[in-house]
A and B are shown apart, each in its own frame.
Chain A
Amino acid sequence: MAAETPLRDLSNSKKANRADRAFSRVITGAAFTSLIILAGITIFLGAKAVPVIQDQGLSFLTTTVWDTIGVPPEYGIAGMLYGSILLAVIALVIAVPVSIFLAVFMVFIAPTRVSKFLTNLVDLMAAIPSVIIGLWAFYVLVPPAQEWQSLLNQYLGWIPIFANESGNFTGTPFIAGVVLAIMMIPIVTSVTSEVLKRTPPELINAAESLGCSMWTMLRYVALPFGRGGIVGGVMLGLGRALGETIAVFFVLKIVFDINFFNIIESGGGSVATLIVSKFGETSGDFEVDVLLAAGFFLFLMTLVVNMLANLIVRRTERLKS
């Protein structure tokens, strides 16, 4: 019997040279930084939220009172949490179709030069500071928007969402939603057009050879192919909509009661805007903690939205592969 061939020592190959090791440590460190920051924020907000929840109980999340001088003071942010979601939904309904149409136009229809111009324009739009958008909306958008809303109410008032009893069309969730949509559109458009641009030419070829029209090619080939990426883009935009503070501050009248669906009725809620509008007038540390607790739940909400988005994206990607 032949002697067994001795095992060779392969550990040497794992020993990267020193520069490589240093480099990989720097990279690992950078990767952990984001984790540490995220954990830091969560712990800080969580620590502030715990005493508030202990003091206020679950009613902090389920009621709409905001009584800072009562004994004891009572706080409830249900209207704000719901308001944030309502604004995001309004913004989504407006921004998603507009963004997808715009992206389709840029990728499949517009001549190259127009398409490049639009791409730059959209990127520029994404860079406008939200305070500028808020100011612009306050001075330029809101006055005519009152007219639009009054027209909507006049002709479509029988649909509950377009009801308005007060005759006051300022500070409505609709306006705030429009402003958020304006802020979402560049993000969603940019991501969507990137995704659509990646539609494999061989799939487009296949569709063309099967006698597709522009519409059927989009409907059955390009959009399904880009679905995961588009959802990701929408979620990015949604993150902005949920967390947007200052632009909403200019156009939404914050009321604590829940405005369930009267989107063109004055008054709505937004957690982020609540925080910024109440922060300057707090009396005492506990009230600050209340706002931070509200921030904690806003943070939680965006986290859940992001996780859901990831789940959706991963599911559609898995179907594809």
Chain B
Amino acid sequence: MEETVIAMEALDAEIARTEKAPKQIEMSANGVSVWFGKRKVLENVNIDFPKKTVTALIGPSGCGKSTFLRTLNRLHELIPGAALAGEVLYEGDDIYRQDVDPVHIRLAIGMVFQKPNPFPSMTIRGNVLSGLKLSGLKRKDHDELVEQTLISAGLWKEVKDRLNAPAGDLSGGQQQRLVIARALAVNPHVLLMDEPCSALDPASTLKIEETIRELSKDITIIIVTHNMQQAVRVSDYTAFFLAEENQPGFVVEQGLTTEIFGNPRDNRTLDYVNGRFG
């Protein structure tokens, strides 16, 4: 009898893993609309990001995916004229509430950008630790932190003998993994990635994708990508953004990646994922 229960539990767990049964929600956007000055660029976006999953944001250029990403860690507000309606919840709390310190939000919700952007005046090690300096976080175990984050970013083996070399010595793909390590070093719970592979060659792209899969065991990842195969390869969930000409972008369809690509409900999604436009 007991054995059956254990077996059942194991089976449930297996189902949960494979089918990605509803998980705890890490972040969610509720009715998010975004403006630059008078121009509305995003209309009423509602997406939930379950804990320790990868969500891909796809859609043609100019549909507001990257802008949306930047609202999720309050980088959006640093652009003059930027405005926002709706709320963004992180662990149940509105990150735009008056008494929330944006620095805390940006540390909890890290970001990796399109173009690898290590700090050129710093060494590899210095780059990994730069988040501590920039944010004023105190950690003692610097060596361990450098090793751990570089291992997580899949770069340790390649750089462990030259941690004090300038970051500029690395190739583009290595630099991108370095900035992933840099983002991980401040211990974020969510990692936002804005087309992290668009400036990289296929081999480097593959490495980053492996890294993303590994990281999603511990943190929640939200990735903007133009590469449909990439969305299929790395993500659990997908949201498809679209913008009509001179209209704000909106979410056409969202759900499990397998559904969006395998069995989309909306014809526009079907056309887009099959490469018929965008």
Chain A residues engaging chain B, CB cutoff 8 angstroms: 200, 202-203, 205-213, 216-217, 220-221, 224-225, 227, 319-321
Cross-chain contact A203 with B106 (CB below 8 angstroms): no
Q: Which of B117, B134, B179 contacts A216 (CB under 8 A)?
A: B134
Q: Which of B110, B115, B120 contacts A209 (CB under 8 A)?
A: B110
Q: Which of B78, B137, B179 contacts A206 (CB under 8 A)?
A: B179
Cross-chain contact A225 with B117 (CB below 8 angstroms): no
Q: Which of B117, B119, B131, B166 contacts A211 (CB under 8 A)?
A: B131
Chain B residue at minimum C-beta to C-beta distance from A210 = B131
> How far, in angstroms, from A209 to B104 measured CA to CA in the complex?
10
A207 neighbours in B (Cβ, 8 Å): 134
Q: Which of B73, B103, B117, B137 contacts A203 (CB under 8 A)?
A: B117
> How far, in angstroms, from A191 to B45 measured CA to CA in the complex?
45
- The count of residues in chain B whose C-beta lies closer than 8 Å to any C-beta of chain A is 30
Cross-chain contact A206 with B113 (CB below 8 angstroms): yes
Chain A residue at minimum C-beta to C-beta distance from B115 = A202
Residue B24 is within 8 A (CB to CB) of chain A in the complex: no
Cross-chain contact B120 with A320 (CB below 8 angstroms): yes
Known: A216-B136, A220-B119, A321-B168. A211 touches B104 (CB 8 A): yes
B251 to chain A, nearest CB (A): 24
- Type the 1/0 row for B64-107, where 1 means its CB is closer than 8 Å to any CB of A: 00000000010100100000000000000000000000011011
A208 neighbours in B (Cβ, 8 Å): 75, 78, 106
Cross-chain contact A319 with B166 (CB below 8 angstroms): yes
A227 neighbours in B (Cβ, 8 Å): 121
Cross-chain contact B186 with A211 (CB below 8 angstroms): yes
Cross-chain contact B104 with A210 (CB below 8 angstroms): no
> How far, in angstroms, from A220 to B107 measured CA to CA in the complex?
17
> How far, in angstroms, from A206 to B119 measured CA to CA in the complex?
8
A225 to chain B, nearest CB (A): 6
Cross-chain contact A209 with B119 (CB below 8 angstroms): no
- Type the 1/0 row for B101-134, where 1 means its CB is closer than 8 Å to any CB of A: 0011011001101010111111000000011011
A210 to chain B, nearest CB (A): 4
> How far, in angstroms, from A165 to B158 measured CA to CA in the complex?
66
B75 neighbours in A (Cβ, 8 Å): 205, 208-209
**Best-buried of A205, A216, A225 by chain B (most CB within 10 Å):** A205
Q: Which of A206, A209, A220 contacts B73 (CB under 8 A)?
A: A209
Cross-chain contact B106 with A211 (CB below 8 angstroms): yes
Cross-chain contact A210 with B182 (CB below 8 angstroms): yes
Q: Which of B73, B136, B137 contacts A213 (CB under 8 A)?
A: B136
> How far, in angstroms, from A33 to B107 measured CA to CA in the complex?
57
> How far, in angstroms, from A135 to B56 measured CA to CA in the complex?
68
Chain B residues engaging chain A, CB cutoff 8 angstroms: 73, 75, 78, 103-104, 106-107, 110-111, 113, 115, 117-122, 130-131, 133-137, 166, 168, 179, 182-183, 186
B186 neighbours in A (Cβ, 8 Å): 210-211
B264 to chain A, nearest CB (A): 32
11 more CB-based (< 8 A) A-B contacts, given A209-B75, A220-B134, A225-B120: A200-B117, A203-B119, A206-B117, A206-B182, A207-B134, A208-B78, A210-B130, A210-B186, A211-B104, A213-B135, A320-B168
Cross-chain contact A210 with B113 (CB below 8 angstroms): no
A320 neighbours in B (Cβ, 8 Å): 120-121, 166, 168
A210 neighbours in B (Cβ, 8 Å): 106-107, 110, 130-131, 134-135, 182-183, 186
Chain B residue at minimum C-beta to C-beta distance from A205 = B113
A203 to chain B, nearest CB (A): 6
B166 neighbours in A (Cβ, 8 Å): 319-320
> How far, in angstroms, from A211 to B120 measured CA to CA in the complex?
19
B117 neighbours in A (Cβ, 8 Å): 200, 202-203, 205-206
> How far, in angstroms, from A319 to B168 measured CA to CA in the complex?
9
Chain A residue at minimum C-beta to C-beta distance from B78 = A208
The 4 closest A-B pairs by CB, nearest first: A211-B135, A224-B121, A209-B111, A212-B134
Chain B residue at minimum C-beta to C-beta distance from A212 = B134
> How far, in angstroms, from A138 to B166 measured CA to CA in the complex?
51
Known: A211-B104, A319-B166, A321-B168. A217 touches B113 (CB 8 A): no
Cross-chain contact B106 with A216 (CB below 8 angstroms): no
A82 to chain B, nearest CB (A): 35
Q: Can you identify 20 A-B contacts, CB atoms within 8 angstroms?
A: A200-B117, A203-B117, A205-B75, A205-B113, A210-B130, A210-B134, A210-B135, A210-B183, A211-B131, A211-B135, A212-B103, A213-B103, A220-B119, A220-B133, A220-B134, A225-B120, A225-B121, A319-B166, A320-B120, A321-B120
A208 to chain B, nearest CB (A): 6
> How far, in angstroms, from A207 to B182 measured CA to CA in the complex?
11
B76 to chain A, nearest CB (A): 11
> How far, in angstroms, from A227 to B121 measured CA to CA in the complex?
10
